[in-house]
């Protein structure tokens, strides 16, 4: 027997903004010590998004991460505009990131070093990402 009403849908819900308060990652010595907030936590969130291959880990939503594996072996003329699109798409899924702009790319032997600005609700963040192709 299915109940006619549970009262659950009649409750008022308050949707809160995602908190930026999180654990502090120290990438140089690979430790997590203390806490961070606001713009520093956004740098950390961007780092995590850009270093997680999308669709590879069941723990993450399919909206989390970036697709880079299929760019290996592709020509630079394809990789650079595709990187710009994929970086923008992967970062703007986070509602705290309003836009991504000011892309520059430096191509070396088998790597592309991309620099760009992520505009967040906490201010601008300058980011670098190196991609093998």
- Residue-range definition of the domain harbouring residue 31: 22-132
Q: pTM (2 decimals)?
A: 0.82
Residue 133's pLDDT is 76
Q: Are 97 and 120 within 8 A, CB to CB?
A: yes
Q: Is the pLDDT of residue 68 over 80?
A: yes
- Give the pLDDT band of residue 94 (cuts 50, 70, 90): very high
Query: Does a structural domain hold residue 11?
Result: no
Structure tokens at 43: 């740098």
Residues 44-74: b if buried by 16+ CB within 10 A, e if exposed: bbbeebbebebeeeeeeeeebbbebeebeee
Query: Does a structural domain hold residue 127?
Result: yes
Distance CA 42, CA 120 (A): 8
Query: Does a structural domain hold residue 26?
Result: yes
Structure tokens at 61: 């939503």
More confident residue, 13 or 104: 104
Q: Number of structural domains, the chain?
A: 1
pLDDT tens-digit readout, 1-50: 565 666 655 666 676 666 788 899 998 898 999 999 999 999 999 999 99
Query: Does a structural domain hold residue 16?
Result: no
């Amino acid at each position: 027997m299915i109940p006619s009403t549970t009262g659950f849908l009649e409750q008022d819900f308050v949707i809160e903004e995602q908190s930026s308060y999180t654990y502090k990652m120290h990438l140089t010595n690979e430790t997590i010590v203390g806490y961070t907030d606001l713009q520093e936590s956004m740098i950390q969130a961007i780092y995590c998004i850009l270093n997680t291959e999308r669709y590879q880990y069941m723990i993450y939503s399919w909206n989390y991460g970036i697709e880079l594996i299929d760019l290996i072996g592709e020509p630079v003329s394809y990789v650079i505009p595709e990187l710009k699109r994929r970086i923008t798409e992967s970062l703007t899924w986070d509602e705290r990131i309003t836009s991504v702009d000011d892309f520059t790319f430096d191509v070396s032997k088998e790597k592309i070093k991309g620099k760009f600005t992520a505009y967040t609700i906490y201010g601008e963040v300058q980011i670098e990402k190196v991609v093998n192709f």
